[in-house]
Amino acid sequence: MTDLSILENLNEEQRRAVVDTEGALLVLAGAGSGKTRVLTTRVAYLVKNMNVDPYNILAITFTNKAAGEMKQRVANMLGESCEVWISTFHSMCAQILFRECERIGYGKNFSIYAEAECARVLKRIMKSPSDADNEKNAKLFDTYYGHIKRIKSFNRDPKEYAEACIGESKIKKETLRLFDLYQAELKNNNAMDFDDLLINTVKLFDENPDVLERYQRRFRYIHVDEFQDTNKIQYRLVRQLAKGYGNIFVVGDEDQSIYGWRGAEISNILDFKKDFPDAKVYKLEQNYRSTAHILNAANRVIANNKKRFDKVLKTTKEGGKRVEVFNAYNDREEVDYVMRNINDLVTLAGYNYGDIAILMRANSLSRQFEEALTLYNMPYRVYGGIRFYERKEIKELLCYLRIAINPFDNESAARIINVPRRGIGDTTVQKLIECAGANGTHLFDVVKNIENVDGLNAGTKQKIAGFRNLWLSLIDAAGKSDAVAFSEYVLKASGLFDMYKADEAEPDRVENLKEFVSAVNLFRKDNPGKTIEDFLRMVALISDADEIDDSNSVTLATIHAVKGLEFPVVFIVALEENIFPSSHAVIESDDNIEEERRLMYVAITRAKERLYVSSSRCRFRFNQRQNNLRSRFVQELIGNVPAKTPQTPQSEQKSTFKPAYTGAAAVKPASPAANAVDVSEYTVGRKVEHSKFGTGVIVSVSGSGNETIAGIEFENLGIKKFVVALAAKNMRLL
C-alpha cells in the first residue's frame, strides 16, 4: 500500500531523490540541506512503497553516533522491528568477517585490537631482545606507528609509501621492517586492527567470489552517507557490493571534504559518474540552517575552488545580521574584540554562552582565548580536544618546570622520570617511591643517592643517574635564568621538544610546546618582576578542573572537530596567511589550498544567525612576533559586498586589554548590567558566596572600576581571581 505521508516534509528536489529508487544516484547535499532526512526517508520509502524487504537494504555511515541517529529515524518511520542493516563501515566489516574469517586464514572469534593494544604490540616488537638497537629506536615509536597507520588507512603499498612519504633512508628501512613484523604479530595473535577490518573484507571478496555474490544478493539497495569522506579502501568495498544490482545511493558534499590528511579521497565523489556512467545527480541546495548573509559569504568563498560541482546554497531565511569582519592590530586586540562581543551577545542580545562557538585552524591558537574566557568568568569547553594546559605535552613540560622549582614534588617527578623514554619502567618507579616512603624522604633524595639503593641492577641505576644529572641541571638553571630562557632551556634539555618533533603523526604537540614558551614570554612582559614560580601558580588557577559546566559554555574548537555541528553564533579567528590557510598548504599545492578553502566553507556554514571573522596584523606565536597578511579567504568572503566592519580605523583603536594575573588582558565590559555593579563593596576580608565554588574570602583587590579584579580564597580550592563586573552575577556579598 502506497504511503506518501513520509514525503510531506521534503522539498521538491529531496522528493525526487527519494522516489528515484533504481540504479546509481549521487545526491550532492550542501551544508544544512537535510541529507540525513533524505537518506533515511528513502530507506523508509523503499520498504513502505516499493515493498523492498528490509533485509535487502544496507545503509553505511562513519560514526556510531550517526548510525544510531539513522536507526532511530528509520525506526520512527517503519517500527522498531525493522531489519535494515545500518552501521558504520568498520562494524559492517567486522560482522562479515566474524562469519567468513576462516576463508582468509583467520580463526573463529578473532580479536579486534583497539589503538592502545596495537601500540603495545608494536612496542613489544621494537623492544625485542634480538634487536640490539631498538632501545634507542623506541624514542621514534610514534613516528613508526604513524607511518604504519598511514600505510594502512591510505591503502598504499608499503614500499611505494616509504619512497614517496619518508625522507630519511634509515627510517624508510625500519618502517618497512616493523610494518611486516607488526602485521605478522597481529596474524599470529589471531587479531585485526581497525584498518584490517576494511582491508581483509576487500580481500575476502576478491579471493572468494561466492562470498561476494552472497552479500551482493543480500544488499540489493546500498546507501552511503558522508560519501566525500570515504577513502580508497571504503570506496572499493562499496563498488564490490554494488556490482550485484547496481542500486547505489550516495550522499555527500565535495565542498565539505576536509579529511584528505587522513586518507579521504575527494575524487571518490568527483569521479563517481566515471565508475557509474548512468548515475543520476541530484543537488540539494536549499539550506535550512543559516541566514542569507552567511550563505552568500559561504558561496563566495567556495566558488573559488575548481574541483567541485556547480551548486549554490539558498535559504528562506532572508536578511539577518551582516557578516562582521575585524582586522586587529595585534592578537590581543583580536581577543579583546571576541570577548567584548561575547559579553554583549549574552548581556544585551539575549544569547546564552552555549549558543556561541570560537573556531580556529589549529588547537595551539586556543591558549589566549582560554585565558581570557577564564579571567572573565565566562564558561567554556574545548570541543573535540583538551584544554591547553591540560594537554599531555604541556602537562609533561609543567612537571619538568615544577621539579626544578620544587624538587620535592614527587608526583611530577614520577610522571616524567621516563618521559622521554629512558628505560625506567613502572616497576622501578614504584620501587623508588616505596623506598622514599620507607625512609620518610622524597623521590628526589632517593634519585640523588641512587647508588645506595638496594634491589636495582647496575644498568637501571645508570639510567636513573642520567635522569638525576638532568634534574640537578634544571635546578641549577632555575636560579640563573629569567622565566623565558629557563622554560626554553627545560623544553630542550628535557628531550620533550625532540621527542615530539620526531612524532610526525601529531605535529600539533610541537606547536603547543612553542606556544607555551610564548605564554611565559607574554606573562613576563605583562607582569614585570614576576618569576617562573608566579607563572606556574597562574597556570594552576587556569587549569583547575572544577571550573566549567559544559551545559551552557562557549565552545572553543578546531574547525575539523565541529563538522556536522551548528551554532547560532560563530567566531572564526586568526584568519591570516600561513595560519589559515596553513603554511604547508600555501607551500605545497593548489589541491591543499582547495582543501583549506573547503575547511573555511565548513566553518562559515556552522553559523545559523551571526558570523564574525577576525584576523591580526601582528601575532605573537611560537615565542616570536609575526607580521601577517590577512587570509585570502577574508577577501573572498567579503567579495564586492561591504561587510560590517569597525568604523574606527584600526590604527586609531586602542586595545582595552590590561595586564592582570595572566598573559591575557582585561576587557572593559560594555553592558549596562556590568556597569551597574558597585565594585567598591568588594574589599579585602569581605566574605562572598559563589554559586559554583561556595563560600570564600576576598584576599586581594586590584584595578579599578569595571577592571577591578578580586582574588577570593575558597576552602579546599585555593585562590581564584575574578573580574568583579562580570562575575558579580554569580556571587553575592555576605
> What is the spatial distance between Cα 159 and Cα 91, in angstroms, rounded to a whole number?
29
User: Residue 566, exposed/middle/buried by CB under 10 A (0-12, 13-18, 19+)?
Assistant: middle
> What is the spatial distance between Cα 79 and Cα 481, in angstroms, rounded to a whole number?
70
**Is 606 marked active-site?**
yes
**Is 36 marked active-site?**
yes
> What is the spatial distance between Cα 153 and Cα 165, in angstroms, rounded to a whole number?
14
DSSP labels, 173-207: HHHHHHHHHHHHHHHHTTEE-HHHHHHHHHHHHHH
Helix 483-493 crosses helix 508-526 at what angle (to 10 degrees)? 160
**Is 40 marked active-site?**
no
Q: How far is CA 586 from CA 164, 260, 579, 590, in A?
A: 20, 16, 9, 8
The DSSP call for residue 318 is -
Q: How far is CA 42 from CA 37, 175, 335, in A?
A: 8, 46, 46
Residue 626 φ then ψ, to 5°: -115, 130
DSSP labels, 337-406: HHHHHHHHHHHTS---GGGEEEEESSGGGHHHHHHHHHHTT--EEETTS--GGGSHHHHHHHHHHHHHH-
**Is 225 marked active-site?**
yes
Region label for 692, one of left (φ > 0), alpha (ψ between -120 and 50) or beta (otherwise): alpha
Are the C-beta atoms of residues 339 and 376 closer than 8 Å to each other?
Answer: yes
In sequence order, which residues have a C-beta less than 8 Å from that of residue 157 and are 6 or more positions away?
Answer: none
**Is 230 marked active-site?**
no
Q: Cα 130 vs. chain centroid, distance in angstroms?
A: 39
Identity of the residue numbered 339: M
Nearest to 541 by CA among 320, 371, 397: 371
* Active-site annotation holder among 100, 142, 193, 226: 226
Look at the block and give the residue holding cell 583549506: 596
Please count the helices (runs of H) and the strands (runs of E) in the chain. 31, 22
> What is the spatial distance between Cα 204 and Cα 91, in angstroms, rounded to a whole number?
16
* Active-site annotation holder among 42, 311, 524, 606: 606
Are the C-beta atoms of residues 313 and 287 closer than 8 Å to each other?
Answer: yes
* Active-site annotation holder among 14, 15, 36, 609: 36
Q: Which helix (H) or strand (E) holds 221?
A: strand 221-224
* Active-site annotation holder among 195, 225, 255, 511: 225
> What is the spatial distance between Cα 345 and Cα 113, in angstroms, rounded to a whole number?
47
Helix 532-542 crosses helix 483-493 at what angle (to 10 degrees)? 80
Cell matching residue 76 = 520512527
Q: Which helix (H) or strand (E) holds 694?
A: strand 694-702
Are the C-beta atoms of residues 609 and 568 closer than 8 Å to each other?
Answer: yes
> What is the spatial distance between Cα 596 and Cα 639, in angstroms, rounded to a whole number?
18
> What is the spatial distance between Cα 628 and Cα 576, in angstroms, rounded to a whole number?
6
> What is the spatial distance between Cα 500 and Cα 365, in angstroms, rounded to a whole number?
18
> What is the spatial distance between Cα 508 and Cα 479, in angstroms, rounded to a whole number?
31
Q: Which helix (H) or strand (E) holds 146?
A: helix 141-153
* Active-site annotation holder among 35, 73, 232, 381: 35
The DSSP call for residue 127 is T
- Catalytic site positions: 35-36, 225-226, 256, 606
